[in-house]
Each structure stands twice: as C-alpha cells, then as structure tokens.
Amino acid sequence: MMKDKILVIGASGQIGVELTLALRRIYGNAQVVASDLREENDLLKGTGPYVSLDVMNKEMLHVQVIRQNITQIYLLAAILSATGEKNPGLAWHLNTQSLLNVLDIAREEQLQKVYWPSSIAVFGPTSPRQNCPQQTIIEPVTVYGISKYAGEFWCNYYNRRFGVDVRSLRYPGLISYKSSPGGGTTDYAVEIFNEALEEKKYTSFLSAGTSLPMMYMPDAIRATIELMEASAANIAVRTSYNLAAISFSPAEIAAEIKKHIPGFAITYEPDYRQAIADSWPQSIDDSAARKDWGWKHEYDLPGITADMLLNLRQE
C-alpha cells in the first residue's frame, strides 16, 4: 500500500504551522510537504520539505501534486473575515478559486482525501444566537462567510458527483501562541495575552460582553486530524461540521488574565469588527461531530489562559 503523502497549502499561516508540525509527527517529516506563497515560517524550518506554491496557479499546483506523489491535500490558504472586508473581490476570488483548483486536481488524480476548513463566519444575524445547530438558517453577511458557505456546497458537490473524499470543519475563533493570527474578528483573543504580558493593558476592538465561540489551537489541530483519520463511513456531513469548545467575551478573558496578572487593565473601543462579531452566534451546537466521529474538546478558559501565559513568557 502506498504511504500517505500530504501537501499542506498555506502552511505558514496560523493553523498551517501547527497542523504541519502535528502531521509530521504522525506521518513522518518527509511525508508532509509544506507550501505557501510566503516565506517558510521559522517554526517549520528544518522539519521537512517546503515548496513555494501559489494555489491560484492550477498548472503549477497540479505539477507539484504529481511530482511529489501527493495522496492528500490540506488547503488552508484563505483571506479571513476582517481582512476580507477591505478587499471583497480578492477575498471571494482567492477563497473560492483555490478550493475549485484543489477539488479539480483531487478528482483528476483520484487523491485519497482533501481537507478544507470552513468557519462560524458562514452564520449570519438570522442564525440562532445560542447553540447554533448544524442545519439552520445560514445567511452570511461578510464576504469571508459567503465564500466559505459557497465552498461548503462545492465540497458536497464534488463528493456526491465525483466521489472526492473532501472533509471540512467550521472552525470557531482560534487561540494560539505559536503563530500570529491572520486578520480575523476573533484575533483579540490572541492579542490580549501578548499585550497583557508586555503592556499590562489592552484595548479591545470588541465590546465587553461580546461572547463568541472559541477554541485553543491544540484542540483545533486534534479535531482536524481526528476528522481526517475517521472512517469515511462515519462522515455523514459533507458540507462542513460545526465544531465547538467554549464561548467567552473580552470581559471574561480579561478577568481570567487578571488572576495571573493582577495589574492588568482592559478598555473597549469597538470598531468595524464589532458588526461582524454581532452577526455570528454566541455558541455552537456541534453534537453531529461528537456523535459521528467522537469529537471532544479538552481546554476550558482557565486552561487556555494558564497555558497561553506560560508559553508566551518562555518565548
């Protein structure tokens, strides 16, 4: 049986760095090819093969897939919610065309599996605010959300029409100390830790009580790999699975940080990202993921806070 050979596109991004390292630990360094338009992230250097790759150049991508004997692709390249609102046309083009390029190549080369992340940004102001279910009213109001929801249906289409085994998760806001956030509306939950340590104060671009679904990066990475390693027979959702851990607001995370840094102070100056946050659910029902492939989160808010501060202090 041919060994799995994985291509990670967008490997230098917030999720890509840690996912690439985790996949290399499981499959072996040589079996996981990292790629990005950007320079190789310092954390990836020396850990395995790296190629400079533009996912929008379909021919170049196709050549790499054949040359490297790729059997699985993780497509992480995207323009996120807050950045996307500054250039909607570019965000739509990159987020959708990159997926179509990968799905086409996966069909042609009969790849084993494709992973593509969606987001809670697919939900809109008409979606239920609490315990937002897997199947519900979905009317996104950001170009990022629109592109992700369209992408979910392309995934479903390629699975049903061509048998491409493509899998997806709707990520909540992600918190990580290893790599920088990429221009999302939940980025405050990473920035706040750095500012707490460096300045002992933080100005939040979201209001005090804005509760959003969040997750610690180790949980998100584990969820991604568990989904991809699950038997195809257990994957009932071919659009994208709701994924959840905890929900909290800037005021709640600030209170938790104060337990570790008593002098920490937070102020609030909501900007254009507040409207984006207000259009999303405050909590997510991910019972389908828990039932179908056994998803369970490990980190709560006190656990995330303690681990973030510990690791950032060591840097």
Which entry of 74, 115, 144, 216 is annotated as an active-site residue? Answer: 144
pLDDT single digits (tens) 90-117: 999 999 999 999 999 999 999 999 999 9
- CATH class of the domain defined by 6-173+215-242: alpha beta
Q: Which CATH code for domain 176-214+246-280+299-314?
A: 3.90.25
Q: State the Cα–Cα distance between residues 126 and 115, nearest whole angstrom.
A: 28
Say if residues 118 and 171 touch (Cβ distance below 8 Å): yes
Which tokens go with 16? 């890509």
For the chain, where are the alpha helices, taking DSSP H only? 14-27, 58-67, 81-84, 88-109, 143-162, 188-198, 217-229, 250-260, 273-278, 287-293, 301-314
Enclosing H/E stretch for 246 = strand 246-248
The residue type of 202 is Y
Query: pLDDT at position 2, please?
Result: 62
Per-residue pLDDT tens over the stretch 142-169: 999 999 999 999 999 999 999 999 999 9
| Neighbour count for residue 241 (Cβ, 10 Å) | 23
Pairing label, strands 173-175, 166-167 = unpaired
For each successive 10 residues of the chain (315 residues), what is the average pLDDT? Answer: 88 95 97 96 97 97 98 96 93 97 98 98 97 97 96 98 98 91 88 96 97 97 98 98 98 98 98 94 98 98 98 91
- Per domain, the residue ranges of the chain are 6-173+215-242, 176-214+246-280+299-314
CB 44 within 8 A of CB 34: yes
- Report which of 164, 217, 162, 149 is spatially closest to residue 189, judged by C-alpha positions: 217
Q: How far apart are CA 281 and CA 247, in angstroms?
A: 10
Task: Read off the pTM.
Answer: 0.95
User: Does residue 177 carry a catalytic annotation?
Assistant: no
Per-residue DSSP letters for 124-150? -TTS-SSSB-SSS-----SHHHHHHHH
Query: So what's the pLDDT on residue 230?
Result: 98
Q: Is 128 in contact with 153 (CB distance < 8 Å)?
A: no
Kindly report the CA angle at 17 between 15 and 23, in degrees rounded to 5? 95
CA distance 8 to 23: 9
Round to whole Å and give the CA distance between 45 and 62.
24
